[in-house]
Amino acid sequence: MTETITFSLNGQQVAVPAGLSILDAAALHGVRIPSLCHHPDQRVKANCRVCVVEVEGQKNLAASCATPVTAGMKVRTNSPRIRETVQTILELIFANHPQECLTCIRNGNCELRRLAADYGIREVKGEMATDALPLDTSTPSLVRDPNKCIKCGRCAEVCHHVQETGILYSHYRSVDVQVAPEYGKSLSDVACVLCGQCAAVCPVGAIHEKDDTALVWEALDDPAKHVVVQVAPAVRVSIAEEFGQAPGTIATGRLVSALRKLGFDRVFDTDFTADLTIMEEGHELLHRLQSGGALPLITSCSPGWVKYIEHSYPELLPHVSTCKSPQQMFGALAKTYYAGKAGIDPADIFVVSIMPCTAKKFESQRPEMNASGHQDVDAVLTTRELGRILKQAGVDFAALDDSVFDDPLGISTGAAAIFGVTGGVMEAALRTVYEVVTGQELESVEFTAVRGLQGIKEATVDLAGTPVKVAVAHGLGNARRIMDLVRAGLADYTFIEIMACPGGCIGGGGQPYGTTDTVRRQRIEATYRVDAGLALRKSHQNPAVAKLYAEFLRQPLSEISHHLLHTKYRNRSLYKLKG
Partner 1 sequence: MGTQLDSAKSVFRLGLFRDFPTLMHYRDFGGYQALAKALAGSPEAVIGDIGAAGLRGRGGAAFPTAAKLQMVRDNPPGERYVICNADEGEPGTFKDRFIMTHIPFQLLEGMTIAAYAVGAAQGFIYIRHEYPEAQETMRRAIAAARAAGLLGGDILGSGFSFDIEIFSGAGSYLCGEETALLSSIEGKKGRPRLKPPYPTQSGLWGRPTLINNVETLANIPPIVDRGPDWYRALGTADSHGTKLISLSGDVVRRGLYEVPFGTTFREIIDNCGGGVRQGRLKAVNIGGASGVVVPPWELDCPLEYSACGQHGITIGSGAVFVMDDSRSILENVRNRVDFFLHESCGKCTPCREGLRQAGRIIHRLLAGNAVLADIDNLERYTRTMQNAAFCGLGQAAGNSLISSLKYFRGEYEAMCRDRGEAAPKEATA
**CB 48, min distance to partner 1, A:** 6
Interface stretch with partner 1, choices 91-99, 217-225, 249-257, 474-482 (CB under 8 A): 91-99
Using CB under 8 A, pick the residue from 3, 123, 176, 443 that binds partner 1: 176
Q: Return d(Cα 86, Cα 118) in angstroms, integer.
A: 11
- Phi and psi at residue 420, in whole multiples of 5°? -80, -5
Q: Return d(Cα 151, Cα 93) in angstroms, integer.
A: 10
Angle between helices 383-392 and 213-220 (to 10 degrees): 50
The DSSP code for 198 is H
Using CB under 8 A, pick the residue from 20, 27, 66, 316 that binds partner 1: 66
Using CB under 8 A, pick the residue from 15, 28, 117, 129 that binds partner 1: 129
**CB 131, min distance to partner 1, A:** 11
Catalytically annotated residue among 505, 538, 539, 561: 505
Q: Return d(Cα 526, Cα 535) in angstroms, integer.
A: 16
User: Rule CB under 8 A: is residue 60 a binding residue for partner 1?
Assistant: yes
Residues 131-170 that bind partner 1 (CB under 8 A): 150-151, 170
Q: Return d(Cα 516, Cα 112) in angstroms, integer.
A: 18
User: Rule CB under 8 A: is residue 35 a binding residue for partner 1?
Assistant: no
User: Rule CB under 8 A: is residue 522 a binding residue for partner 1?
Assistant: no
Could you tell me the maximum CA-CA distance found in the chain, to the nearest angstrom?
79
Residues 6 or more apart in contact with residue 21 via CB below 8 angstroms: 44, 64, 65, 66, 67, 68, 69
Using CB under 8 A, pick the residue from 6, 18, 84, 108 that binds partner 1: 84
Q: Return d(Cα 277, Cα 240) in angstroms, integer.
A: 27
Q: Return d(Cα 274, Cα 420) in angstroms, integer.
A: 10
C-alpha distances in angstroms, 73 versus 7, 53, 287, 418?
Answer: 5, 12, 64, 47
User: Rule CB under 8 A: is residue 85 a binding residue for partner 1?
Assistant: yes
Interface stretch with partner 1, choices 173-181, 259-267, 307-315, 329-337 (CB under 8 A): 173-181
User: Rule CB under 8 A: is residue 317 a binding residue for partner 1?
Assistant: no
The DSSP code for 338 is I
User: Rule CB under 8 A: is residue 173 a binding residue for partner 1?
Assistant: yes
- Phi and psi at residue 512, in whole multiples of 5°? -55, 145
Using CB under 8 A, pick the residue from 27, 42, 76, 92 that binds partner 1: 92
Give the residue among 169, 150, 128 at the shortest CA–CA distance from 49.
Answer: 150
Catalytically annotated residue among 301, 323, 357, 501: 301
Interface stretch with partner 1, choices 59-67, 134-142, 262-270, 417-425 (CB under 8 A): 59-67
Nearer to partner 1, 123 or 401 (CB): 123
Q: Is 368 a catalytic residue?
A: yes
Give the residue among 18, 17, 19, 49 at the shortest CA–CA distance from 33.
Answer: 49
Catalytically annotated residue among 111, 281, 310, 427: 281
**CB 97, min distance to partner 1, A:** 10
Angle at alpha carbon of residue 50, lines to 47 and 51, rounded to 5°: 95
C-alpha distances in angstroms, 420 versus 52, 142, 201?
Answer: 39, 21, 20
Nearer to partner 1, 165 or 542 (CB): 165
Catalytically annotated residue among 64, 321, 412, 561: 321
Interface stretch with partner 1, choices 123-131, 436-444, 457-465, 539-547 (CB under 8 A): 123-131
Q: Is 111 a catalytic residue?
A: no
Q: Is 505 a catalytic residue?
A: yes
**CB 207, min distance to partner 1, A:** 18
What three-state secondary structure class fits 364?
A: helix
CA dihedral sign, ordered 28, 33, 39, 44: negative
Q: Is 301 a catalytic residue?
A: yes
Using CB under 8 A, pick the residue from 16, 24, 26, 47 that binds partner 1: 47
Interface stretch with partner 1, choices 43-51, 186-194, 468-476, 480-488 (CB under 8 A): 43-51
Query: In this structure, how many other beta carbons lie within 10 angstroms of the beta carbon of residue 256?
Result: 25
Give the residue among 284, 345, 524 at the shortest CA–CA distance from 419.
Answer: 524
User: Rule CB under 8 A: is residue 123 a binding residue for partner 1?
Assistant: no
Nearer to partner 1, 98 or 346 (CB): 98
Catalytically annotated residue among 241, 280, 363, 497: 363
Nearer to partner 1, 129 or 135 (CB): 129
**CB 134, min distance to partner 1, A:** 20
In terms of Cβ atoms closer than 10 Å to its own Cβ (0-12, 13-18, 19+), residue 70 is exposed
C-alpha distances in angstroms, 319 versus 296, 306, 451?
Answer: 6, 11, 23
**CB 258, min distance to partner 1, A:** 41
**CB 95, min distance to partner 1, A:** 6
Q: Is 101 a catalytic residue?
A: no
Tell me the one-letter amino acid at 419.
F
Using CB under 8 A, pick the residue from 3, 127, 441, 559 that binds partner 1: 127
**CB 37, min distance to partner 1, A:** 9
Residues that bind partner 1 (CB under 8 A): 44, 46-50, 52, 60-61, 63, 66, 81, 84-85, 88-89, 92-93, 95-96, 125-127, 129, 150-151, 170, 172-177
Known catalytic residues? 281, 284, 301, 321, 360, 363, 368, 505
